[in-house]
Amino acid sequence: MTIPFNPSVGKLELQVDASKSGLGAVFIQNKNIISFSSRSLNTTEQKYSQIEKELYAIVFGIRHFHQYLYGHSFVVVTDHKPLETLINQPMQKSSCHQRMLLQIQPYDLTVIFQPGKEIPVPDTLSRLYLQSQDEKLKQGQSVEAQIQGKSWEPAVVLHKHELPRSYIMQTQDMKAYRQNRKYMRMSPDETDLEQYQHTNSNGVPQLSSTSSPNALSTPSKSPPSTVLIQAPGSSPK
């Protein structure tokens, strides 16, 4: 959020764009940027036709700024001319188009075309998206994690947590943490998943005896509700 938002004052505008591998959206009121967002396209989404990607950018933008747009009239600006006809005029639509259009049906929107040079921000965002945003981590994968806002340190993913975008991981000091994906990144020295050949009595994977001496072992599974989980055999501080 960049400036205060007042839904009762001024024109609401959503500018969107799609590149071959990302989406960008900018929420504007009275020509002032309120907020913006971007995301990468996964492997399946990258196979969409260009008009499907551009339509998906509208869906993405409206979803992201739902709390500001729902219940208000607003304009969606795109640099993809065919979307004007697709959305504003009744015509035969593919099943993919229909599914996306159903998601934006509850909103009071009008789609207009503007050349890409007139809406450079969403175009830039669609190409400079956060690349790791949608990358899911696997059990036994080596990562680097930022613990409690401190420096990044090596860790191993134990399993996915029930909370969205959260994982249980273990650091080199044998402590297990629940960490949001935002504070985890891929490690250049990734642990081989084949090292995890058996599990303990609690069903949690453990490193095999042939693993590297520097590899991290895995503690027994702890309650997922705790942020810091004391590993068995380690003394509390």
Q: Which residues pair with 24 in a beta bridge?
A: 17, 38
Number of CB atoms found within 10 A of residue 95's CB: 7
For residue 10, the model assigns a pLDDT of 81
For residue 187, the model assigns a pLDDT of 60
For residue 224, the model assigns a pLDDT of 36
For residue 3, the model assigns a pLDDT of 63
pLDDT 10s per residue in the chain (237 long)? 456 677 777 899 999 999 999 999 999 998 889 998 998 888 888 999 999 999 999 999 999 999 899 999 999 999 999 998 888 776 667 888 888 999 999 999 999 999 989 999 998 998 886 554 446 788 888 888 887 767 778 889 999 888 877 889 888 888 888 888 777 776 654 433 344 334 444 544 444 433 333 333 334 343 333 344 444 444 444
For residue 18, the model assigns a pLDDT of 95
Task: State the Cα–Cα distance between residues 113 and 224, nearest whole angstrom.
Answer: 48
Q: Which two tokens stand for residue 189?
A: 């020295």
Q: What is the DSSP string of 15-80?
A: EEEE-SSEEEEEEEETTEEEEEEEEE--TTGGGS-HHHHHHHHHHHHHHHTHHHHTTSEEEEEES-
In terms of Cβ atoms closer than 10 Å to its own Cβ (0-12, 13-18, 19+), residue 137 is: buried
For residue 25, the model assigns a pLDDT of 95
Q: Is-contact 5 29, C-beta < 8 A?
A: yes
Task: State the Cα–Cα distance between residues 52 and 115, nearest whole angstrom.
Answer: 18
Task: State the Cα–Cα distance between residues 200 and 16, nearest whole angstrom.
Answer: 50
For residue 205, the model assigns a pLDDT of 45
